[in-house]
Structure 1
């Protein structure tokens, strides 16, 4: 792969109960486990950070796929949920759900554009394929 851009982030402290920042300091925040996992919930957690990044990336891919398919993706929105759970073999795993709303497209066209975005364009989708269950819902 020829890298077009590289992001660099640093983690310190206790990981989930610590601190993260990007090299350029545009993101600089405390991390805390959510209350559901016994934490204070007073900081961001890795699942929230991943959900935000994947949502933004997937929406960009959705717009690119819409352009290729000549569909109007204006005002489209993506809400991404990242769930953390235990693996049967031990350890933890995540699952992702994208809720896609495209007010200018039919349900079938929204699904087609989202499928193309997921299958062909989004690098987060490429990175998670085969490792993470990803569900795409069309929201009217």
Structure 2
């Protein structure tokens, strides 16, 4: 079995699947971006970052299972500190969420294709870098998902449509910043 590679570039509308097949958006159509808002919530997670930003600590406050991590800039940026970085955590969360959606979509498939995703793995590569748009300062992300062990492109596409991380990156997520 060969891994199916899926790269989503939501703001350009391009989707790459399988062995290099590419479906590009119509260049004459403007790219529109929506924001998903919630009518309710099923789960609530709370986290707090303290200390020196990317070199501080992050803690999920008591809830399901409390978690505390020491954060550090990636080693290849010159950091000598030991710890995790936000891109690692993002990649881990995205891989887990996408795998769950993949297995859910396989179970929900009309043709009873549960077996197609039972042993699947989802690999993420999260790239931190400078945006190519010269008007944007700071950093940006590129995420590459590689699906291994599931060759059904339709199930992979449906998983992308239903995964909360994919939806947030594709459609946007409501982000509210408050000051205390």
Question: Would you call these one fold, judging by a TM-score over 0.5?
Answer: yes
- Larger fraction in helix: 1
1:1-140, aligned counterparts within 5 Å?
Answer: 1=38, 2-24=40-62, 26-40=66-80, 42-69=82-109, 70-71=112-113, 72=115, 73-87=117-131, 88=133, 89-102=136-149, 105=150, 107=151, 109=152, 111-119=153-161, 121-129=162-170
Q: Which residue of 2 aligns with 1:138?
A: none
CA distance in 2, matches of 1:40, 1:117: 38
Give the structure, 1 or 2, with the largest relative contact order (CA under 8 Å, sep 6 or more).
Answer: 2
Q: CA deviation at 1:41?
A: 5.1
The alignment of Structure 1 onto Structure 2 pairs a total of residues equal to 125
Q: CA deviation at 1:67?
A: 1.1
Find the residue that maps to 1:129 and give its secondary structure.
helix
> Alpha carbons of 1:47 and 1:41: their partners in 2 closer, same or farther (altered >3 Å)?
farther
Structure 2 unaligned regions, length at least 5: 1-37, 173-180
Q: CA deviation at 1:26?
A: 2.6
Structure 1 unaligned regions, length at least 5: 132-140
Q: CA deviation at 1:114?
A: 1.1
- TM-score, L = length of structure 2: 0.65
Bigger Rg, structure 1 or 2: 2
Q: CA deviation at 1:130?
A: 5.5
